[in-house]
A and B are shown apart, each in its own frame.
Chain A
């Protein structure tokens, strides 16, 4: 796929135009996103960073179609998410998106392999295809030897890699990650960052990551700093991004 990504990479796959979102609790109205616009390109690891409460998780929810906006437009892969009803949004997510959350959210009863296979069953793939993809994704995150184990037998870093494999096996164009490293130690966090970065590069996936983890900043292709529902700075890494071992990727 790398040949085609070179061109596709430059077309924005996610676009927000003048997006606003507020939460009301009691009489208190909190403006979380305030007339925010941005576009995110494929084949890159984009990081949204900022202090807690700055609205970065809400931005992720809005861009991924998990929440509706109060005003403005969100376009993902050419579809305007505001136009889609609940069913259509579910279908859109099933076809095009992957998610990785801070908590790993794995079913205690299922093996790593089954965690990855489960969503694939709902995509209308054949049994063999689902198993092939599950196997491949787990190999890609380096868990080929651990895939028969249940979450209770895996370390935190391994659990997050299973969660990434679960998202990756769907072969999504969009991969959203919310604080994927904050529950992990430095070494495991590093592994996760590398994997996310590699996914963006090798699969041409739009990887949008929300984190306040400073370790991530170095590895992102683009860093958006947020505060009070607005984007303060938009910085591209000048040097080619490198993986954790300093090798050019």
Chain B
């Protein structure tokens, strides 16, 4: 079979370039937008995804990790009684007001009080063992590299949170938060920083299971009991999803993403279809000749659709290469960008859908390929 669509695309690449660029940029724009949104809003579940706990126990109805309430500390022994549970540790969340060494005005910080033992579950994926060990010192805190300017401190300097003195003992990466700054310290330090006298228990109890695959089942099992006051349990994955969804949809960011996706689709399809229509019009006499020779309109339509497919595929390839480069660049600058399979798939569907719609639009121009018009 003579590959008419592909050969024409290669030979007349200048003609098709605008369409490929339009598709590519539409894909790139969408890709980066989704990566940024996922990156920014993904940081709201950092506490979960950066830790190795399989089950989280907290106050019922909690919509995001940052919105927890204290629960009964005695729950710890209740959770440990479950045979599937290997270890449990408390996690203390304290909202703090920061005053740094330099004048920074008010900065709200999210204090995370964690177990500082070497095998502690919280932040085990983002905090180095050395930094974790240093947190055991009284009043020691660790902050993210990206927050140093915001907090106006450097390593070794002191500041106050809720009026109490703390000392920066380490700088970490990957601890960016949304709407505030994450500050890590030991459970003891966090209790000292908590200015609310009514808080007497941990905000969360996090558990490691012997078999992580059991997380859903164990969470469901723990939920059934009410002997220790109000509490509920989630598998780590569910709780992370709840947190991200809360931010994505409560802030309107999700609607923004969809809106921009719509605009990108329309603009991309407008440019791409115009280019493909021009390409069909440029070859309309040749198509008409093929039709005169008996090659069916269906077969000619397939040629146009195949061209649209290749335009989409080439645009996608360009967008992927450029997207990866830009995302690596963003990562190196501590810009939170994250891409998962679902988001990448959504981009691919958007781009190929755009190409398909443009191809269908261009197919209509084939009506002008009437062989009778050649007899003039």
A interface vs B, CB < 8 Å?
57-58, 60-61, 64, 66-67, 87, 90-95, 97-99, 101, 103, 105-110, 114, 117-119, 121-123, 127, 150, 166-167, 170, 178, 210
Contacts and interface: CB of A to CB of B under 8 A. Distances in A.
B4 A119 contact: no
A93 B293 contact: yes
A67 B291 CA distance: 13
Contacts of A103: 285, 374
Given A105-B286, A108-B12, A57 B294 contact: no
B2 A117 contact: yes
A108 B8 CA distance: 8
Contacts of A94: 293-296
Contact of B299 (A67, A114, A122): A122
Contact of A61 (B286, B289, B295, B375): B375
Given A66-B372, A110-B4, A97 B10 contact: no
Interface of B: 1-2, 4, 7-8, 10-12, 283, 285-286, 288-297, 299, 371-372, 374-376
A93 B371 CA distance: 12
B295 to A, nearest CB: 5
B43 to A, nearest CB: 50
A123 B288 CA distance: 17
A102 B296 CA distance: 22
B372 A114 contact: no
Contacts of A91: 294
B285 A118 contact: no
A120 to B, nearest CB: 9
A90 B2 contact: no
A93 B4 contact: no
A243 B35 CA distance: 73
Contacts of A58: 375
A119 B303 CA distance: 13
Contacts of B290: 118-119
B281 to A, nearest CB: 14
A87 B296 CA distance: 8
A109 B372 CA distance: 24
A95 B295 CA distance: 10
Contact of B286 (A57, A107, A123, A167): A107
Contacts of A121: 1-2
A126 to B, nearest CB: 11
A217 B374 CA distance: 23
A98 B293 contact: yes
